[in-house]
Chain A
């Protein structure tokens, strides 16, 4: 007999709610049961099933860095049934969390190298976990470059953290918004992420690129990286597909024989080239 019901979530208390952008919020969460919190560990890149009791579960990444202990965070956009219910909650409310699931960004393998983060829109949250994790281990890496773009200035998430990264002398931050999305005060770039990447042209020598964004952005970013000399095994991304269980049973997230929930969500471009594109 198996003792544990693998679908039972942890009960989490919402400690803080941050409005990041229109319809985008970040929750800081603490375990309602402290003991569970002490035993809980995760690594950057992993995801979970977040639930509002009565509405169901939704899949997204853990947006905080494992180097920051005592809480976890998630950032979500209000879109469907569960995220709309989540958005209606506030500090002191409780939600469910199952996880961590999936594989991780192999940060240890990157020690001694430069890092290039490329993110678009609401895809910064999975990246933010990696970025803070790496920044907390800053002396292990050479140059750190962050290129982040959104449709419009108002859609940029983590505005305070963007400010913080801008002020870090050892971080190169490039922000961009799509043409037409700029405001009169906007001091960053204007243009699509691949265009700006081409313009910034970071050196590919000993550099790991981590890319996350909407499919269209990824599609046009990969060729630019190739042009800049990034080998396929130096380019990482994190995929998402619809999931219910998160643990390889419900049958939704596979792309060919690869299960995004178990084999992913983190893949190198080299790995992606070997699997069908059902994502």
Chain B
């Protein structure tokens, strides 16, 4: 579909949010609490923060929440009754203010969740979600989207991409059918394109490495000593994985009260020591270096090989969230130059 250019005034964006809410849609937008920015439901645009490079928490929860019910069960006298989570209750959702890199992140998630077996929970949530992205006018030292074939104004993955242009109004690029539908239902808020030069308003994100060189190198680096060297200071928490927009590893757990309960899927991290522990006590990834290697290679070797997609979008969240300054792009540069 051809991208259609429109203009939306800042005030109109607020009215659009009000209309979406009036239609019963959940609008998730960046909200700031201290220095941390989350995607949370908003009622009016005033609640939305614009003061962020990338949000602390990625928008992946829109389609892959930190805890998600798979099924409910009940142990009764006549045996066990269970039913899968009906996905019809998932709300129509609009994610406003995600970055172009974030939108690309759903490619990685989709590749994983649809690898042969199609994951209904994820797909049904995603199908009900519309993404209104906002291009990046600035970046910081952790950003490296341009190194993984992204860009601060990339339209891929968003349904509508807004770019703040002169005077604070937004250039609105209507990218997908979903975007078009939304733009039509709120057509009074979209005006004719002013012809602004989008590129002029985008951040300049330097390219740190060439991903096409990196991937083949990563594929041959399993035995490399870099993993131990890089990961000595890693303390094995899951902060990087939990803020990552493409990390999809999960755990499945049963939670019960009395005779009733539910089976839940919740986020997990390959960085945790017990992630791969066998019941026998044997652990294939006994040490942190093996776990760090798994994290990097999963994104830059295994996913490209098996799913034809690089599992990283260069948002830099992992490095910002890391309590011990494990800087991913720096390590990738090392690897690419090794």
Contacts and interface: CB of A to CB of B under 8 A. Distances in A.
- Direct interface between A and B, CB < 8 A: yes
Interface of A: 1-9, 11, 32, 51-57, 79-80, 83, 94, 96, 215, 240-242, 244-245, 247-257, 259, 262, 276-279
Nearest to B123: A2
Contact of B84 (A5, A51, A57): A5
A247 B117 contact: yes
Interface of B: 70-71, 73, 75, 79-80, 82, 84-85, 87, 112-113, 115-121, 123-124, 127, 222, 248-254, 256, 261, 263, 265, 268, 270, 275-280, 282, 284-285, 290, 294, 297-298, 301-302, 305-306
Contact of A250 (B84, B268, B294, B298): B268
6 contacts: A2-B120, A7-B71, A7-B265, A94-B79, A242-B275, A250-B252
A251 B109 CA distance: 12
Contact of B70 (A5, A249, A251, A257): A5
A7 B252 contact: yes
Contacts of B124: 1-2
A96 B222 CA distance: 38
A252 B282 contact: no
A152 to B, nearest CB: 18
Contacts of B305: 257
A248 B302 contact: no
A251 B121 contact: no
B285 A248 contact: no
Contact of A53 (B261, B278, B297): B261
Contact of B117 (A52, A80, A248): A248
Given A56-B253, A254-B302, A278-B284, A242 B277 contact: yes
A11 B82 contact: yes
Q: Most chain-A CB neighbours within 10 Å: which of B87, B115, B120?
A: B120
A7 B87 CA distance: 14
Contact of B119 (A96, A249, A276): A249
A6 B12 CA distance: 42
A97 to B, nearest CB: 12
B249 A256 contact: no
A6 B120 contact: yes
A242 B124 CA distance: 28
A54 B70 contact: no
A57 B158 CA distance: 37
A96 B75 CA distance: 12
A8 B71 contact: yes
A244 B250 contact: yes
A244 B268 CA distance: 11
A256 B222 contact: yes
B195 to A, nearest CB: 39
Contacts of B301: 257
Contact of B252 (A4, A240, A244): A244
B71 A250 contact: no
B248 A54 contact: no
Contact of B261 (A54, A245, A252): A54
B290 A278 contact: yes
A90 to B, nearest CB: 14
B222 A79 contact: no
B73 A5 contact: no
Nearest to A92: B79
B116 A262 contact: yes
Nearest to A262: B116
Nearest to B81: A11
Contacts of B112: 248-249
Given A83-B279, A257-B301, A53 B85 contact: no
Given A4-B118, A251-B248, 12 more contacts: A6-B120, A7-B71, A11-B80, A53-B80, A94-B79, A241-B284, A244-B250, A249-B112, A249-B115, A249-B248, A278-B284, A278-B285
B252 A245 contact: yes
Contacts of A248: 112, 115-117
Contacts of B113: 249
A2 B115 contact: no
Nearest to B241: A251
Q: Most chain-B CB neighbours within 10 Å: which of A3, A7, A11?
A: A7
B116 A247 contact: yes
Contact of A242 (B115, B261, B276): B276
Contacts of B119: 2, 6, 249
Contacts of A262: 115-116
A247 B127 CA distance: 22
